[in-house]
Amino acid sequence: MKLRWEPYTLDLKTTFRVAHGASDQRNNVLVYLDEGVGEAPAVPYYGETQEGIIEYLESVPDLGEDPFDIETVLARRPPGSLAARAAIDVALHDLWGKQIGQPLYRLLGLNPANLPLTSFTIGMDRPAVMAEQARECGFPIIKIKLGSEFDEQIVAAIREVTDAKLRVDANAGWTRDQALELIPRLVSYDLEFVEQPLAVDDVEGYFWLKEKLLASGVSSPIFADETAKTSRDVVKLAGAVDGVVVKLMKSGGIREALRMIHTARAFDMQIMLSCMVESSVGVTAAAHMAPLCDYADLDGPLLISNDPYSGLRYDGAKMSLPDGPGLGLVKRSPH
């Protein structure tokens, strides 16, 4: 199987701000394994760069000739960039489906009618700007990026203009004390859950926070994202959080993402399937697993203006999977 790649810059429709930075473009890499395609997003927060991803891909040895021997092929990937490892995994699964002539969801034994609705993400900005974006988007589920000094004002402003379900994501932007102070106040705005309130490496803090919130009578669900990269992390968080966020690009691909999902279920955790700022390549790959999950945050293609492929379809918050073989992607004609 021949491995090749193509640097690709995604143009965002609006500046995307989170607690650890802002961007107008994302420099991703499209990865091909024969006719299979995957995507590696270069997310600085995860230590990924376009140059580093390409350097990793250049180091990958021959992956063999048999796309059906998935575990052996994936075991040949050297340690390194998780985004690049994930892109190879996705391209291999796409190739697998194309060789058999079946969509990936069917090979996983899943029903494409069972996709949860997706949320739409509002990046950090002034409260009035975020409220206007929330009003304009018209989505029934909105994910709000927090981690500023105006967090409560932001949620209050958005709640004033919409009755949509609200989820908040602090992106590890709060200290323990800030989380303990803010969460009980934010709960009054009718939140579905709070995502990644604490620092990435503060596993013990999640146990502390859960105990403190329960003692004060606050039962808002807490989900871990950056702290839960792999199935081993899920085990460490058992009993401390109510759910985990699964992303192909932090787990290293579909295989490990499936292990995360099944591990979380074993500990009675809920699951939200999410994405980075990615094109339809990475997001469609994730969506094929969505019937296994409770929630979806798969709005990446809605945030960019130059998607290189068409795949996952949107009717507002409702998503529909393509039924072509593999991921079912179709390359768009360049403008």
Which pLDDT tens digit goes with each residue over 130-180? 999 999 999 999 999 999 999 999 999 999 999 999 999 999 999 999 999
| Shared-domain flag, residues 127 and 253 | yes
Can you say whether residue 308 is alpha, beta or left, with left for phi > 0 and alpha for psi between -120 and 50 degrees? Answer: alpha
128 and 79 in one domain?
no
CATH number, residue 111:
3.20.20.120
Q: Which amino acid, 43?
A: V
Do 126 and 72 share a structural domain?
no
Mark whether 114 and 16 lie in a shared domain: no
Structure tokens of 289? 């697993």
The count of structural domains within the chain is 2
Interatomic CA distance for residues 227 and 244, integer angstroms: 9
Phi then psi for 149, rounded to 5 degrees?
-80, -5
Place of tokens 């409770």: 294
Structural domain that includes position 197:
107-331
User: Do residue 78 and residue 196 come from a single domain?
Assistant: no
Same domain? 115 vs 179:
yes
**pLDDT classification of 25: cutoffs 50, 70, 90:** confident
Residues 130 and 279 in one domain: yes
Q: Kindly report whether the global pTM for this prediction surpasses the value 0.85.
A: yes
**Residue 77 shares a structural domain with residue 175:** no
Radius of gyration of the chain (CA): 19
In this structure, are residues 252 and 272 in contact, taking their beta carbons and an 8 Å threshold?
no
Q: What is the tens place of the pLDDT at every residue in 215-270? A: 999 989 999 999 999 999 999 999 999 999 999 999 999 999 999 999 999 999 99
Domain boundary pick from 75, 101, 127? 101
Tell me: do 87 and 159 sit in the same domain. no
Q: What is the CATH number of the domain that holds 77?
A: 3.30.390.10
- Is residue 133 classed as helix, strand or coil in its secondary structure? helix
Q: Are residues 95 and 183 in the same domain?
A: no
182 and 80 together in one domain: no
Task: Please check whether residue 256 is in contact with residue 244, taking contact to mean a CB–CB distance below 8 angstroms.
Answer: no
Q: Contact, 310 vs 280, CB < 8 A?
A: yes
Q: Is residue 65 very low, low, confident or very high in pLDDT (cuts 50, 70, 90)? A: very high
Domain co-membership, 183 together with 299: yes
Distance CA 143, CA 141 (A): 7
Q: DSSP string spanning 275-286? A: --S--HHHHHHH
Q: How many residues does the chain have?
A: 335
